[in-house]
Chains A and B, each alone.
Chain A
């Protein structure tokens, strides 16, 4: 295959995916979605629309009922080294220091101690937690804990970051700062990101592409390219007229599905 076609091909393809939980709860129905390489795609929708289910199927943490997910053309049958997950409730090991938590993915892969600590220190620094390597999760605020979760996902050097409402458990001010830091970080780390949120502002702010999911059973209602230039100064985005219009447009679409 030519390099060109690999680059143009979507890194993640979701095809006719359906998920029914035991007890006949239909979470997803016939979902089709392409996620372009190197971009940040948000799954946006109301609570219970199946967006986390979709993300966890892409991650290989949940089984699908029908359809398929392809990563780089390969069907997903479980978690893989090219994907790293950031959890809504952080999922840090409370008995381990920040350093060991960040290095945990590498530890599981059998990377020797010295080497994995060096890698972990680099990412601890990148997420702005220098000086907290020896701290334990209970000594950190919610925002700092999620930075540990992000550093852990970055440390395994996966192409794809899957983020499940990563800022949902964090207060508003911390969330804004974290969103800005995430965008700056993604300029350095070239990643494909799939990001789940129920916040319209957050979706528009961080994404290149927003996939709107309708309420249960979850379907993709529309995919919108934000065309915001994230390479610009991240602090200016919130004042950008395109940003403001998009937030309003998305609200107009979403409100139709709410009762």
Chain B
């Protein structure tokens, strides 16, 4: 993984220029496709942005996010804590691994979205059902990344610890866990991304609330610019959150990545 670092001001300027250019290109194509139009339901970029502004100003978007983010936050916090603990235990104890690893491997490869309608039968349509959808989507990657981080902890470092008489507790807390922390955090980031998918699916498939409600509502009224604005906002929000986590990861675990 090579990271491009601008050394000079012109380097930074160039980098920003390229980004702006790619955005202009994408949004330009969008505007063109909307004006042509490729489909009567496909709004132009500008009308979408106007709709987005209006939704922002009248507070519709804000109150929708206030609803959507609740199950997402609860779900991510829950699985962030329990999932990491679970994954670490799986990595440290063979018997625990034997018992639970197959479940998570199946869960990870299964299309979990197909299970979301099932949740309704068991947990109804309330907040609990939506939290569960987030947990179902986010748990496998968080658990398995934590597990792999522990299991792939550098064997030379473990041997070093033993040669300097580390106890098992010291080995876990001073060597294995710090060594695995980068991978655990990466799992958390991927889990948050999966959690977004979970919460939107729940809002579209279980009961329309929050941002899912906006999308469904504007589609029913054929207000396509507003519908696209809602979709655009959630895509933007999710990518900003996930790339911020990626930045944070780069800063926190810079040292680990640079040495063998």
**Residues of A that sit less than 8 Å from B by CB:** 59-61, 79-81, 83-85, 87, 89, 91-95, 104-105, 107-109, 136-138, 152, 156
Contacts and interface: CB of A to CB of B under 8 A. Distances in A.
Interface residues of B, number: 21
| Shortest Cβ-Cβ A-B pairs, 4 listed | A138-B258, A91-B160, A85-B163, A105-B164
Nearest to B254: A138
A109 B255 contact: no
Contacts of B157: 91, 93
B259 A94 contact: yes
A92 to B, nearest CB: 7
Contacts of B8: none
B256 interface: yes
Contacts of B255: 94-95, 136-138
Interface stretch (B56-64, B170-178, B188-196, B207-215): B170-178
B259 A92 contact: yes
Contacts, number: 60
Interface majority SS (helix, strand, loop, mixed), chain A = loop
B156 A87 contact: yes
Contacts of B160: 85, 87, 91
Contact of B166 (A61, A85, A108, A152): A108
Interface of B: 154, 156-157, 159-167, 170, 174-175, 178, 255-256, 258-260
A84 B162 CA distance: 11
A104 B178 contact: no
A213 to B, nearest CB: 22
A108 B259 contact: no
13 contacts: A59-B163, A60-B163, A61-B159, A87-B156, A91-B154, A92-B259, A94-B255, A94-B256, A94-B258, A105-B165, A107-B174, A108-B167, A109-B164
A3 B260 CA distance: 46
Given A89-B156, A108-B174, A79 B163 contact: yes
Contact of A84 (B159, B164, B178): B164
Contacts of A95: 178, 255-256
